[in-house]
């Protein structure tokens, strides 16, 4: 009987270990603009590593940082803003951040706008309804960098910028909210990340390129959370693989060179 009990106990231990291994989870916090691409990348990773699951938490970079500061369980974070990541590093909450990928801004207009927008200066048109990000989130910060660059250029200047700013009717905390306002006709134009113009949305919105020399480069750093699990090492490495890079590029992001 003792031998039988010992065998049963051994089997239960093995089953428990197997269940634990099968339930291994990587908690990845990521900027909401990464949602489509990162979900696809996570599925690809899980196919290659069936014993692991990637639990994705998407939100604005500022919100993610606050969650980590308040003790939320996370193994890694991908931010859309270096300043937010440096804040976390300064508080000893993440390891040294590393650049992962890049993005650019794009001007998007709702369909049927008459006359159509063809250039950034058209944002000064009287009565135009412009939606942008609020200054606390990366999209809003990058938009204001764009505005500052335009104001400093004699071809545009501060007078034009003041007219553009008068047309701002909405400052959103998420890019998806800007897209929603455009699709619902609650705004005529909005400033987005180019990665937000997915094929489905690109067919319903008009994209107008911004002046390349004034369009800020949005950088996405990645870092391990100091108190997180080392299981995230393999997933972070996978984010730099050719498979992940192709998915990022297909979703409108730029490579590690920013080109």
Along the chain (259 residues), what's the average pLDDT of each consecutive run of 10 residues?
Answer: 44 40 80 93 95 93 94 96 94 96 94 89 96 93 97 96 97 92 94 84 84 95 94 95 95 74
In the chain, DSSP finds a helix count (H) and a strand count (E) of: 10, 10
Cβ atoms of 249 and 255 closer than 8 Å:
yes
Question: Which pLDDT score, from 0 to 100, does residue 258 have?
Answer: 53
Structural domains of the chain ordered from first start: 2-102+220-250 (3.40.190.10), 105-214 (3.40.190.10)
DSSP letter (8 states) at residue 125: S
CA dist 205 and 24 (Å) reads: 41
CA dist 178 and 209 (Å) reads: 17
Name the token pair of 183. 């699709």
In this predicted model, what pLDDT tens digit does every residue of 41-64 receive, in sequence order?
999 999 999 999 999 999 989 999
CA dist 240 and 255 (Å) reads: 10
Cβ atoms of 53 and 44 closer than 8 Å:
no
Report how far apart, in Å, the C-alpha atoms of 153 and of each of 14, 74, 161, 209 are.
Answer: 68, 43, 11, 17
0.85 surpassed by pTM: no
CA dist 151 and 141 (Å) reads: 15
Question: Which pLDDT score, from 0 to 100, does residue 15 have?
Answer: 41
Please name the residue that has the structure tokens 């489905």: 200
DSSP letter (8 states) at residue 235: H
Question: Which pLDDT score, from 0 to 100, does residue 256 have?
Answer: 58
Name the token pair of 199. 């094929």
Report how far apart, in Å, the C-alpha atoms of 203 and of each of 36, 110, 180, 198, 199 are.
Answer: 17, 11, 14, 9, 6
Cβ atoms of 236 and 51 closer than 8 Å:
no
Which run of H or E residues covers position 155? none
In this predicted model, what pLDDT tens digit does every residue of 180-219 receive, in sequence order?
999 999 999 999 999 988 766 667 899 998 999 999 999 9
């Amino acid at each position: 009987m003792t031998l039988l009990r010992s065998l049963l106990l051994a089997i239960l231990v093995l089953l428990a270990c197997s269940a634990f291994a099968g339930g291994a989870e990587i908690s990845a916090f990521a900027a909401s603009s990464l949602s489509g691409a990162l979900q696809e990348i996570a599925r690809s990773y899980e196919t290659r590593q069936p014993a692991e699951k990637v639990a994705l938490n998407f939100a604005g970079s500022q919100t993610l940082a606050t969650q980590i500061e308040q003790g939320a369980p996370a193994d890694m974070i991908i931010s859309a803003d270096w300043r937010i990541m440096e804040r976390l590093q300064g508080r000893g909450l993440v390891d040294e951040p590393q650049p992962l990928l890049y993005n650019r801004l794009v001007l998007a207009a709702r369909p049927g706008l008459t006359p159509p927008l063809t250039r950034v200066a058209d944002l000064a048109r009287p009565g135009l309804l412009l939606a942008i990000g609020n200054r606390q989130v990366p999209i809003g910060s990058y938009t204001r960098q764009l505005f500052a660059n335009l104001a400093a250029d004699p071809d545009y200047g501060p007078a034009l910028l003041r007219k553009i700013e008068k047309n701002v009717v909405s400052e959103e905390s998420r890019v998806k909210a800007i897209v929603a306002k455009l699709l619902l006709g609650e705004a005529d134009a909005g400033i987005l990340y180019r990665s937000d113009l997915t094929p489905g949305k690109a067919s319903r919105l008009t994209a107008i390129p911004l002046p390349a020399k004034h369009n800020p480069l949005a950088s996405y750093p990645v870092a391990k959370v100091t108190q997180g699990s080392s299981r995230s090492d393999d997933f972070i490495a996978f984010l730099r693989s050719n498979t992940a890079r192709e998915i990022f590029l297909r979703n409108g992001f730029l490579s590690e060179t920013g080109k």
